[in-house]
């Protein structure tokens, strides 16, 4: 590993582009390789063994391309695969987890809704997080919600109907915060906001992940030297159409910052 190598990003599809955009903004001299496994998305309804195998295969592809660090930009993959991958590789590996700790520490009173995929909410990593910070939390599985992002369906009657039904049981419940526990959901922030009480804070993991990435690169003396801006390479397992979608969605993610 050396400081001139790229930082690898891996997600089950498009959602991790929101994390990549945040990292690129704060680390302009770094180069990045993003692999979106759109051919096998979504991960959130798969078994642990399937997610682990897919994650290992994706990271092996990134390693072949030469990376100095890895961000698993997917809460579901982190919950299942981060520890086995850390045991397999020596470079820094940064995972995601729903920002429940941040929500618990920065809000007072009221319930905290944690929106995430069913597999994320069932993971041991999330259960440990919940045991520490979940005394006001309500875990809210959102099967199929990430699919709206994969289809670039950010508004419309189908999405509104989904969200209306999702939040219906919590009408009248005082909400302290809503945790966007899947990177895809950041692309739906505007639509989600319309179905929540006015002023409800929404929190995510992006800034925390970038801070952790910077800290680990400094510890390993792997920060790229200042100079020309680094480049971003986007790879999709879903073919040319999905690769073009990655580029389009990355531009959108940068605008949403």
Domains and CATH numbers, the chain: 6-96+206-256 (3.40.50.1860), 100-203 (3.40.50.1860)
Q: Over its length of 257 residues, how does the chain's per-residue pLDDT go in tens digits?
A: 788 999 999 998 899 999 999 999 999 999 999 999 999 988 888 999 999 999 999 999 999 999 999 999 998 899 899 999 999 999 999 999 999 999 999 998 899 999 999 989 998 989 999 999 999 999 999 999 999 998 999 999 999 999 999 999 999 899 999 999 999 999 999 999 999 999 999 999 999 999 999 999 999 999 999 989 999 999 999 999 999 999 999 999 999 88
142 catalytically annotated: no
- Candidates 112, 182, 213, 224; catalytic one: 182
Q: Is the Cβ–Cβ distance between 140 and 192 less than 8 Å?
A: no
Structure pTM?
0.90
HSE-CB at 246 with a 13 A cutoff on CA atoms is 27
Q: Tell me, what DSSP letter sits at residue 230?
A: P
**Residue 175 backbone zone (phi > 0: left; psi -120 to 50: alpha; other: beta):** beta
Tokens of 165: 């039904």
pLDDT value for 201: 95
- Candidates 35, 51, 74, 209; catalytic one: 74
Q: Using a pLDDT cut of 90, give the percent of the chain over it.
A: 86
């Amino acid at each position: 590993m050396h400081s001139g190598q790229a930082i690898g990003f891996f997600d089950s599809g498009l959602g991790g582009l929101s994390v990549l955009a945040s990292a690129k903004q704060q680390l302009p001299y770094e180069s990045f390789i993003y692999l979106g496994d759109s051919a096998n998305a979504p991960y959130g309804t798969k078994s642990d063994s399937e997610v682990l195998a897919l994650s290992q295969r994706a990271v092996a592809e990134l390693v072949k391309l030469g990376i100095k660090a890895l961000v698993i930009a997917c809460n579901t993959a982190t919950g299942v695969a981060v520890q086995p991958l850390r045991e397999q590789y020596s470079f820094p590996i940064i995972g995601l987890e729903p920002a429940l700790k941040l929500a618990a520490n920065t809000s007072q009173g009221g319930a905290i809704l944690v929106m995430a995929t069913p597999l994320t909410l069932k993971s041991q990593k999330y259960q440990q997080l919940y045991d520490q910070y979940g005394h006001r939390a309500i875990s809210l599985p959102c099967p199929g919600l990430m699919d709206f992002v994969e289809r670039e369906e950010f508004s419309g009657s189908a999405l509104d109907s989904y969200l209306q039904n999702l939040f219906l049981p919590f009408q009248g419940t005082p909400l302290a915060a809503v945790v966007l526990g899947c990177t895809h959901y950041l692309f739906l922030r505007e639509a989600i906001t319309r179905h929540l009480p006015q002023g409800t804070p929404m929190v995510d993991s992006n800034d925390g992940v970038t801070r952790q990435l910077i800290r680990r690169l400094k510890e390993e003396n792997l920060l790229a030297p200042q100079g020309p801006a680094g480049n971003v390479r986007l790879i999709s397992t879903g073919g040319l159409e999905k690769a073009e979608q990655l580029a389009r969605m990355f531009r959108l993610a940068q605008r949403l910052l």
